[in-house]
Every structure is written in C-alpha cells, then in structure tokens.
Amino acid sequence: MINTPCNPGTPNPSDIAELKNVWSVIFGNVGLDAFFDNLFRPEHCVIARNDNNIAAMGYLLPAGNIVTNSKAVPCAMIYSIATLPQYRGLGLGTTVVNALVNTAYDLGYPVAVLCPSEDSLFEYYRKNTTFQDYFYANELTYRNMSHMAEHNSHLALEELSIEEYLKLREKLLDSKTHISSDPSLLEYQQKLCNEFGGGLFRIGGSCATIECQSDGSVYVKELLTTDCDATQVLASITSMFPSTKHTVRTPARTGGFYVGNRRFGMLASSDISIIGAEKIGHTPWYGLAFD
C-alpha cells in the first residue's frame, strides 16, 4: 500500500455543496450537474482538508476493463483531481491521488488509470506516486478546414446509442490493448456533448465521439477507424461540425494521416505483472478522459 503524509478521507453528505464549489472554482460549471447527478459516489471520492475546509479532492470512476490479447482486468479511472489555489504546494493533491489508488485496490480494482492534465505532470506522478506511463494517443489540431469539407465526398454521420457505439468501438479496437469503456462513462460523455453539441457517431466504418466546445472549437475526443481514407472521414466531420479549429484524437500509430503521437495516460497496479508484459510493442489506448 502507498503511504500518505496526512489523513485523507471520504466526504459526508453535508460536504456536497462544498465539493461542487471546489469543482466550479477549478473547472467551471461544465459537467458539474451531469457528474454529481449521475456519477458521484461518496465512497469513490477522497478529500483532504485544511483549516476544516475541503482543500483538495479527487474521484474514482469505474472505467471498465483493460483488455489485452489474453485477459480483461477491471480498472478505475482517477478523475477531477483539484486543489484550491490557496492550498497548493502542500502536497494535498498527491495525497489525494495516492489515497485514490489505495481506494481502488480496496474496492477490488487491481488497476487505476490517470490522464495528466499537463505534460509536466507525467514526471511528477512518476516521482511521487506509483503511476507509470502506459497509454499513448495521436492528437492533431486543424485550423480553417472548410476547404476540406467543400472538396471531398462525405460519409453520413449516424448518431448512435451508447450500446451501438460500444459494440462498434470494441470491433474497431479488437486485438489492441485498450480500456473497454463502462457504459456509465459513455452516458456521462453524452451529457457533456449535450451541453454544447456533438454526440456519439458512426461515420462509414468508423466511430467518433465529438464534443463542441464553448469557444466554438470542435474536439473529436475519440476517432476509431479502419478506413484507408482518413481524409474522407475528417472531411465528413468538418462538414457536419464546421469550425475554425478541429482537434482530433485517435490511437497512436506510425505514418499515415495522423502524425501527432504523444503520451496520454498513466497506469498503477497492485500487481504490474497482470498487464505489464502486454505493453511491449503496443501503444495502449486510453479512450475518453473527459479532459
């Protein structure tokens, strides 16, 4: 187990208003109601107090299974780590993260996953927690893509139910190490999409989670495809969701249309041998991170 420098705990029902306030200060109000109405569980939350106030918080979400060629291992996602500005530098965020990993193990999840919000945090978490780099993504931002939408034939975008999306998603990720998303996470993602527009779509043989942002940009949070002509898929998206800025995230690969490979997520495990050997020669796919 991981030793923590203070005594983090779980919140009481009377703490929910304060938790929502911390969320609003750090993240704004996007996703607040959807999260607390649908995903919040006190036993999956860890808080750290200072001066009797909630100074830092974090949550566990049942993420589904990490699926490899030989096994499927239950995992929990660490989500919405937040420390109020006046309490930063005290190690409270790290305390919360380490406590959440222990909570995941106690709840029967041998694996915890985390998507750092900044690239510098990869080194920080490697130094201060048991997390190690594990997941990779290919992410590129395209600007002023209207010409692509105008000069390419388009595939229809068919909005899918959660069940339909998950079925197609697993087909496209077959034989690749990945997180098979829990349906509750897709339901949360749908609610996030509904705040500004977007959804879960089939595009030819591909699938995409598309989220419109408050600034008018479009974020393709997950694009999975076996199509040879990725340009046609992207043209179809830009035609349906016009914007001056499109950010597209897809599994890491070499060559081809997407060349923006980067570290994306980290993994901690009570027994790294459970999945450690499966990583060699692969680029595991994290999927939706709600970033």
Is there a common fold for 13-135+263-279 and 137-251? yes
Q: What is the DSSP string of 91-128?
A: SHHHHHHHHHHHHHHHTT-SEEEE--SSTHHHHHHHHH
Among 125, 163, 141, 167, which Cα is nearest to 266's? 125
C-beta of residue 148 within 8 angstroms of C-beta of residue 238: yes
Q: With the C-alpha atoms ordered 63, 64, 67, 72, is the resulting torsion angle positive or negative? A: positive
Predicted confidence at residue 259, as pLDDT, reads: 59
What's residue 281's pLDDT?
A: 45
What's this model's pTM, rounded to 2 decimal places? 0.89
Domain 13-135+263-279: give its CATH architecture: 3-Layer(aba) Sandwich (3.40)
Domain ranges across the chain: 13-135+263-279, 137-251
Residue 47 near residue 19, CB atoms below 8 Å: yes
pLDDT by residue for the chain (291 residues), tens only, comes to 454 556 789 999 899 999 999 999 999 998 999 999 999 999 999 999 998 899 999 999 999 999 987 789 999 999 999 999 999 999 999 999 999 999 999 999 999 999 998 999 999 999 999 999 999 999 989 887 766 656 566 789 999 999 999 999 999 998 888 999 999 999 999 999 988 899 999 999 999 999 999 899 999 999 998 766 677 888 899 989 999 999 999 988 754 445 578 899 999 998 767 665 454 445 899 998 888
What is residue 260's predicted lDDT score, i.e. its pLDDT? 73
Of 205, 209, 154, nearest to 181 (Cα)? 209
Q: Which fold has domain 137-251?
A: Aminopeptidase (3.40.630)
Cβ neighbours of residue 112 under 8 Å, at least 6 residues apart?
60, 75, 76, 77, 78, 100, 101, 104, 105, 131, 267, 268, 269
Quote the pLDDT of residue 226: 76
- pLDDT score of 280: 43
